[in-house]
Chain A
């Protein structure tokens, strides 16, 4: 089954404790992206990647890191989480450069930073 898999689904942590949210897709998509969803603010892009070893900042990259060492994986790293990073996070993937492929979203990770 074609899918984007995120882990964990729920995460509660404390300020300053490094964490990683994993994302993997099995559709051989070149493009992968991370979004955060906050009430009233919609889906805001954090980082995206157009291929292996190619990553770019989205609209709200501060406090986050990503890596793309393999085509299928795109982890989101919070080196020193803060309470304002409490949010619902979605990973997504699609083909690059047009075509009829929609953006495929993972199930989301609800992060709480205390």
Chain B
């Protein structure tokens, strides 16, 4: 089955700096890669996703890049703000395209220092 590795487990950055979280996956057939954000005490929520026919996707201050050859994808947050503090999960779909077959990474706790 699919295995998703996520690094780092904790990331502390100064407010205004950029943050990068990296994930690798094992199943070359996976082709859907979402990122979920979980604020303290709340449910995980989708913030951005990418499919394997696209190399990069941006939404305001967040972007995701995908390298299918190397089987890794990354989340980039620019101009970090206090509200970016949360746990971020990457995931890969083993079902061939949808959220119904996701395997999650173990999460990255992002801390934004004032």
Contacts and interface: CB of A to CB of B under 8 A. Distances in A.
Instruction: Check if A and B associate.
Output: yes
Given A103-B46, A105-B44, A40 B98 contact: no
Contact of B43 (A50, A95, A99, A106): A106
B96 interface: yes
B33 interface: no
Nearest to A39: B107
Nearest to A96: B100
User: Does more than half of chain B's interface fall in helix, strand or loop, or is it mixed?
Assistant: mixed
Interface residues of B, number: 24
Given A40-B9, A42-B105, A103-B102, A98 B43 contact: no
A23 to B, nearest CB: 12
Interface in B12-62: 32, 34, 36, 42-46, 49
Contacts of A35: 104
Interface string A5-21: 00000000000000000
Contacts of B6: 42
Given A50-B100, A94-B99, A96-B98, A102 B34 contact: yes
Nearest to A31: B100
